[in-house]
Amino acid sequence: MSKWVYGFGGGAADGDASMKNLLGGKGANLAEMSSLGLPVPPGFTITTEACVHYYSNGQTYPDALKGQVAEGLAKVEGVVGKRFGDAANLLLVSVRSGARASMPGMMDTVLNLGLNDQTVEGLAGLSGDRRFAFDSYRRFITMYSNVVLGIGHDRFEELLDDHKDRQGVSIDTDLTAKDWERLVGDYKALVERELGRPFPQDPHDQLWGAIGAVFASWMNDRAKFYRRMHDIPESWGTAVNVQSMVFGNMGETSATGVAFTRNPSTGEARLYGEFLINAQGEDVVAGIRTPQSLTRAGREEMGDKAPSMEEAMPEVFGQFVDVIGRLESHYRDMQDIEFTVEQGRLWMLQTRNGKRTAKSALKVAVDLASEGVISREEAVSRVEPAALDQLLHPTLDPMAHRHVIATGLPASPGAATGKIVFDADEAERLNQLGDAVILVREETSPEDIHGMHAARGIVTARGGMTSHAAVVARGMGRPCVSGAGEIRIDDKAGEFTARGRTFRAGQIITIDGAKGEVLDGAVDMIEPELTGDFQTLMGWADEVRRLRVRANAETPHDAKTARGFGAEGIGLCRTEHMFFDGDRIAAVREMILADDEAGRRVALAKIEPFQKADFVELFEIMAGLPVTIRLLDPPLHEFIPHDEADIDALAASSGLDAGKLKRRARELHETNPMLGHRGCRLGVAYPEIYEMQVRAILEAALEVKAKSGDAPIPEIMHPLVALGLEMKYLRELTDRTAHAVFEAAGDRVEYLVGTMIELPRAALRAGDLAEHAEFFSFGTNDLTQTTFGISRDDSGRFLQAYLDKGVFETDPFVRLDQEGVGELIEIATERGRKTRPGMKLGICGEHGGDPASISFCESIGLDYVSCSPYRVPIARLAAAQAALAAASGEEREKDR
Ligand code: PEP
Ligand code: MG
């Protein structure tokens, strides 16, 4: 019989930390902590497989689940010596989700489950605190109604506010036991009015309601959005953790908090976190009360008045420090911990590897390696390549003038400028229109996730360093200032005030997430300096990497940026980009309008010096490194305007003949330009174009050789080749032209002639192409387009529907389709190298900067990847991780 339920607690557990896939991250770590003998409230985990079963069987549970849950519950009762539903000896539980990958706040949680009209009296008697008992009951009704019964949280808040108004009190802590008791009555009446039936009183009904709600929350919109954003497959499902309750709200010796063993923003190796006395966990995470520091040093730094945990509860604090030290050594990584103190007794509710900014990830990895806790290779594997993107973007210029309008907590570093918006949907709408926005909220909740994603930065008026806004912003790499208490938001008026000034929606502000400042207007930014931990880790990555990393670049600026980021050459210089600039475009149009070859040659002679000068500059910037130059690729009509008015304007400004322009535009018109007269088909039809380009490349190389004595090795690349004979023709054209250049110069340089593989036929007949081509570069943008028969320019119209319906798990233009396009690449690799052993192979489509695609390139033995300059560091790290993964796979093979 399948095992659907795994117990933990009392110093033992059925599972362990290695079982994340089955038990979810939270469940696996609760089991591990229990086995380590740490104080964990006993409970059990319903597996992710039960969730998968639930969804693949018309939302029904496996047959054996009921019995196994009952057994699990009985075991918990045995360990804690209390009984579920027994008013005289009461056990209450929490019910929480817990997927394989953590999805903070995306799914549902119910606390205090098991309370009803009888057991609340039991809780009052047992705790000796009637106020606490009824406060717990009303929290439970609110949460349960919201999560399981679908009645909005705000409906209950309204009743609470009305009651407070009537009593003339403003804060919850002024309410008495009688008040909460009255409110419980009001809450139950609200539920009955809404649903036509009373609030469920049977604890077992409550439990199954909550379990069903957690499974259901796997498919809520925010969970789906989060999964898409973080590439988490829907097929994983979530586990459900049912755990005996401990209370952080049982008076002044009780507390609840969250901690990181190191700073999640900066990586500094110092305990970091917050807690609240007399509160339940959700109060900290939801940012409803601003929490206190854990340590005295933290309090002093923040300038807080309220005592730290170190000062308020020194004994428990000592025990806590000991426990989390053990956890960090055990997991060998920075831990993110949730805990509760119930009447002076410490309980651990969760531990996991902490989410962190890229800066923190680098520092923690480098520090742990330096401390000897992990190896350098492990350090390289620990940093997510895509996260490096956060470090590659500008920060505020320290010399720039700053007009601070409010300060808050430095919740997530980085700087951003944008228009103020107060609403997540509006943030998304404006972002789609191309506006940079800063989302300003009282506090954020999981419903705001799409707006946070769309915003360049986030500001909240309330909440601490571990509030929802702070945690999510750090995970997304968005700068964030949280708890900027000076900001008073008036949602209805669409404005906020701070320090006596009013700022309206649409006004520009800047935030500095590293300092916690909100600034008026736009502030100058500076390029990042990639030193320190970044350089150290990239150095370690370069030591283990096999794949070379080049950049796609044609302008001197891009080429310099790419070198600065560590590019080892240019993998794709798209020469047509050089055709559009300033004076050249006039000569390009003249060439297109020419009636015959002679006319074209006259125009080409005007373009040639520009091309040559551009290549000289590129070769000089890339001194000593390979530079792959692709000859003209797009159809010629892309260089002339299409509608009448634009043609007339061009004719007027350039002196070209309008009638001739229109006729030529009509002649060049194609129904499917992507499948039309483009790529090497231009070179075959108009060889003089490619001859001019080859001459410019080689003359530039000779010039650089003459100047510096150091000859570059140009790699001349022909696009969109399909046939062996096409390649033969192009090879001969190239060699013939080269020969003429070298004859005239009385000198020569090395050069390579190769092709892009962008068509399925080219991949299949790679053996023929390799007879004449000395290298291949996989143009996976076109290869994806031509393999799927999906236009890369039009796919946006229907791709979303495919993604929403799960037909595509990811956009194939972003992440290489390894099964289809990947198989063609493998075939071409094998057949190409069979004809020409050891031939140089690379990839230059967008996929060259995508870590998962890079790992594929490693696995099939390509020589290099080429990507846009800003992705070069990401590719270097991804290539290193791919090499490490391949090596460890080989190790495992050997052991077998
Ligand atoms: C490609 O097709 O993958 C490629 C790199 O060329 P382009 O994007 O210029 O068509
Ligand atoms: Mg292409």
DSSP per-residue letters across 204-228: HHHHHHHHHHHHHHTTSHHHHHHHH
- pLDDT tens by residue, 290-315: 789 999 998 998 888 899 999 999 99
Any ligand 1 atom below 6 A from CB of 574: yes
| Mean pLDDT within 231-236 | 88
Residue 560 alpha carbon to ligand 2 centre in Å: 23
Give the whole-angstrom CA distance, residue 637 versus residue 123. Answer: 80
Nearest atom in ligand 1 to 844's CA: 5
Nearest atom in ligand 1 to 780's CA: 3
Q: What is the pLDDT of residue 710?
A: 86
To the query of whether residue 680 is one of the catalytic residues in this protein, the response is: no
Any ligand 1 atom below 6 A from CB of 758: yes
Q: Tell me the percentage of the chain whose pLDDT exceeds 90.
A: 71
Dihedral of the CA atoms 246, 33, 104, 879 (nearest 10)? 170
Q: What is the DSSP letter of 401?
A: -
- pLDDT tens by residue, 154-167: 899 999 999 988 98
Determine if the pTM surpasses 0.85.
no
Please provide the average confidence, as pLDDT, over all residues in the chain. Answer: 92
From the number of C-beta atoms within 10 Å of its C-beta (0-12, 13-18, 19+), residue 435 rates as middle
Q: What is the pLDDT of residue 265?
A: 85
CB 629 within 8 A of CB 572: no
Split at pLDDT 50, 70, 90, the class of 575 is very high
| Mean pLDDT within 768-788 | 97
Give the whole-angstrom CA distance, residue 782 versus residue 812. Answer: 11
Nearby residues for ligand 2 (ion, Cβ within 5 Å): 758, 779, 782
Give the whole-angstrom CA distance, residue 76 versus residue 83. Answer: 9
Residue among 480, 844, 857, 867 flagged as catalytic: 844
Nearest atom in ligand 1 to 778's CA: 3
Q: Tell me the percentage of the chain whose pLDDT exceeds 70.
A: 98
Q: Pick the residue whose CA is nearest to atom 10 on ligand 1.
A: 782
Q: What is the pLDDT of residue 471?
A: 74
Residue 673 alpha carbon to ligand 2 centre in Å: 13
| Mean pLDDT within 64-91 | 96
Crossing angle of helices 556-564/597-621, nearest 10°? 30
Q: What is the pLDDT of residue 173?
A: 76
Split at pLDDT 50, 70, 90, the class of 288 is low
- pLDDT tens by residue, 353-403: 998 888 899 999 999 999 999 999 999 999 999 888 778 877 888 778 889
H or E element that contains 638: none
Domain 255-353: CATH architecture, name and number where available = 2-Layer Sandwich (3.30)
- pLDDT tens by residue, 847-867: 999 999 999 999 999 999 999
Which residues have a Cβ under 8 Å from the Cβ of 189 and sit 6 or more positions away? Answer: none
Domain 5-244: CATH architecture, name and number where available = 2-Layer Sandwich (3.30)
- Nearest bound ligand to CA 554? 1
To the query of whether residue 480 is one of the catalytic residues in this protein, the response is: no
Any ligand 1 atom below 6 A from CB of 577: no
Q: What is the pLDDT of residue 76?
A: 97
Delimiting residues of CATH 3.30.470.20 domain(s) in the chain: 255-353
| Mean pLDDT within 627-648 | 89
Give the whole-angstrom CA distance, residue 77 versus residue 84. Answer: 7
- For residue 285, pLDDT beyond 70: no
Q: What is the pLDDT of residue 390?
A: 76
Q: Pick the residue whose CA is nearest to atom 1 on ligand 1.
A: 779
H or E element that contains 755: strand 752-757
For the ranges 179-188, 549-558, 751-760, the lowest mean pLDDT is seen at: 549-558
Any ligand 1 atom below 6 A from CB of 844: yes
Nearest atom in ligand 1 to 572's CA: 5
For the ranges 42-46, 92-96, 445-449, 572-576, the lowest mean pLDDT is seen at: 445-449
CB 229 within 8 A of CB 318: no
Work out the number of other CB atoms within 10 angstroms of the CB of residue 890.
Answer: 10
Nearest atom in ligand 1 to 719's CA: 6
- For residue 411, pLDDT beyond 90: no
Q: What is the pLDDT of residue 280?
A: 83
- For residue 482, pLDDT beyond 70: yes
- Nearest bound ligand to CA 843? 1
Any ligand 1 atom below 6 A from CB of 781: yes
Residue among 453, 468, 637, 718 flagged as catalytic: 468
- Nearest bound ligand to CA 781? 1
Any ligand 1 atom below 6 A from CB of 516: no
Closest CA to 164 of 156, 155, 174, 154: 174
- pLDDT tens by residue, 678-711: 999 999 999 999 999 999 999 999 999 999 988 8
- For residue 316, pLDDT beyond 60: yes
Closest CA to 854 of 837, 877, 835, 834: 877
Split at pLDDT 50, 70, 90, the class of 229 is confident
Q: Pick the residue whose CA is nearest to atom 4 on ligand 1.
A: 779
Q: What is the pLDDT of residue 450?
A: 87
Delimiting residues of CATH 3.30.1490.20 domain(s) in the chain: 5-244
**Residue 608: strand, helix, or coil:** helix
Q: What is the pLDDT of residue 543?
A: 97
Q: What is the pLDDT of residue 726?
A: 98
> Angle at the Cα of 705 (from 703 to 706), degrees rounded to 5?
65
Q: What is the pLDDT of residue 284?
A: 64
Which residues have a Cβ under 8 Å from the Cβ of 433 and sit 6 or more positions away? Answer: none
User: First CA to last CA across the chain, in angstroms?
Assistant: 30
- Nearest bound ligand to CA 628? 1
Give the Å distances, CA to CA, from 597 to 112, 147, 685, 755. 84, 74, 10, 25
| Mean pLDDT within 171-190 | 92
Any ligand 1 atom below 6 A from CB of 782: yes
| Mean pLDDT within 219-242 | 89
Delimiting residues of CATH 3.50.30.10 domain(s) in the chain: 393-526
Q: Which fold has domain 393-526?
A: Glucose Oxidase; domain 1 (3.50.30)
